[in-house]
Amino acid sequence: MSRGRMGWPPPWAFVFMPLPFGIFSGYVQTALPWLLRHMGYSVDRIGAVVAFVLSPMAFAFLWSPIADFGLRRRTWMQISCALSGLLLGAAILLFSRHATLSIGFLVAGYAVSLFTTSCGGGILAVSQVGSRKARAAAWMQGGMLTASALGGALLLYFSKHFSLGGLAAASALLVAAPATFALTIPEPAPDSGLDSLLKTCATIGREVRSTLFSMESLAGLLLLFAPVGSGAAQALFPAMAKDYNVSIQGVMLLNGLLGGVLNMLGAFVSVMIPAHWDRRVVYAAAGLCCAVSGAYLAFAPLNPSSYFLGVSTYMFTTGTCYGCFLGVVMMTMGNAGLSASTRYGILVALGDLPIVYMTMVEGWSYRIFGVRGVAAADCAGNVLVGVGAAIWLVLRAKSSRRQGPYAAVPATEPLGAE
């Protein structure tokens, strides 16, 4: 593994790791809202449906520890991607006839797909060291965002040109096939003996406690839970396109192809940020940048030009937020240890909660204040929490400057990686 860390995989290779989850998310956050709106669903109801499908984010930490036991993480990834692809295909087949059952399959498939991110995060944590972790995390988020946007647009296009069976088969294949990339990454087989299992459980328990219940981790934990850079409005923009008189071609372009490029470019901005900069401060600052686009949409005219300018700026700045997000996760987690996937899953689940609750809040804002309420609520969350978090973290960083920029979480070698 030492030779593997210094050679393959390099940080940029992790752009391929989250493709299965990104494509599944693309259907939920781009294709599904547009289809529901054209079936007569209101925006607030669409927000509730999407939030329900995304709700496993809040509980993914419950099954993420599975990736640390029994099989290699890359093997778990193959299994879970195949299963999530089958569930997505089944949901698409049932969508027009049994909407409730279809949504149930989507929730189950999304829960399984989230498990793939725990596998990928664990592989990243044990295969990368030092500043390579932050760079690999940014590349991984860029890949996820690109897959989400492009996958959503592609599945929306397929829904107009493929039969229902063809769409289901293509969707399942798109989710399952990219997981084979993980097989290229060297990974030792875990020791599954009973004695080793008990010791591993005890060690994982200690590592989880040290991450979740220490003052050094508090700043990162609070920031992950805050609605900074949640990007929740991205799930509602396709449904809001009708209010701006934007056609399906415009939705597929901006929320798909162009949006994917903007998301990816935004995430790659975080790759260029110096590795010694505190990712917590950078994350909060990126949220403030995202608030600018929300403020614009809250007051701009309801026409296609406003939609394209506001949404494109939002997607670029959200990409930067997401690129910094995993850097905050890795900084808060510290050493990989034996619980890399477990703690990664817990921290990402905590950071995903704002997506769920802000999607609901912004759906309610639409019902109360109309289309402008969505952008205003998103902007308010970024500004209020972003300003407070940035000021607090900057002051805290100044007080600990003598100890170095990573004093809160030492950038040491992963435990047990020899």
pLDDT score of 1 more than 60: no
pLDDT value at 5 more than 70: no
Spell out the alpha helix ranges (H) of 226-303: 237-240, 248-252, 258-272, 279-299
Q: Is the pLDDT score of 409 beyond 50?
A: no
Where is mean pLDDT largest: 349-353, 372-376, 409-413?
A: 372-376
Most confident region among 244-253, 267-276, 389-398 by mean pLDDT: 244-253
Residue pair 156/252 in contact (Cβ under 8 Å)? The answer is yes
Exposure letters 169-178 (e unless 16+ CB within 10 A, then b): bbbbebbbeb
Domains and CATH numbers, the chain: 13-401 (1.20.1250.20)
Query: Do 329 and 224 contact (CB within 8 A), yes or no?
Result: yes
The residue that leads in pLDDT, 192 or 175, is: 175
- Tell me which residue has tokens 């937020």: 321
Q: What is the mean pLDDT of residues 114-140?
A: 81
CA nearest neighbour of 58 among 357, 363, 382: 357
Rounded CA-CA distance 392/397 in Å is: 9
CA–CA separation, 403 vs 309, rounded Å? 43
Encode pLDDT of 212-247 as tens digits: 887 777 878 888 888 888 888 877 887 788 888 888
Say if residue 410's pLDDT is above 60: no
Sign of CA dihedral 322, 10, 130, 401: negative
Give the C-alpha separation, 273 to 34, whole Å. 35
What integer is the mean pLDDT of 311-335?
84
The pLDDT score that the predictor gives to residue 341 is 77
In tens, the pLDDT along 81-109 reads: 999 999 999 998 888 788 889 899 999 99
- Distance (Å, rounded) from C-alpha 79 to C-alpha 161? 30
Say how many CA atoms lie within 13 Å of 275 toward its Cβ. 12
- The structure tokens listed for 139 are 């590349």
What single string gives the DSSP state of each residue in 374-389?
HHHHHHHHHHHHHHHH
Alpha-carbon 89 to chain mean position: 22
Residue 4 has a pLDDT of: 46
The pTM of this model reads: 0.68
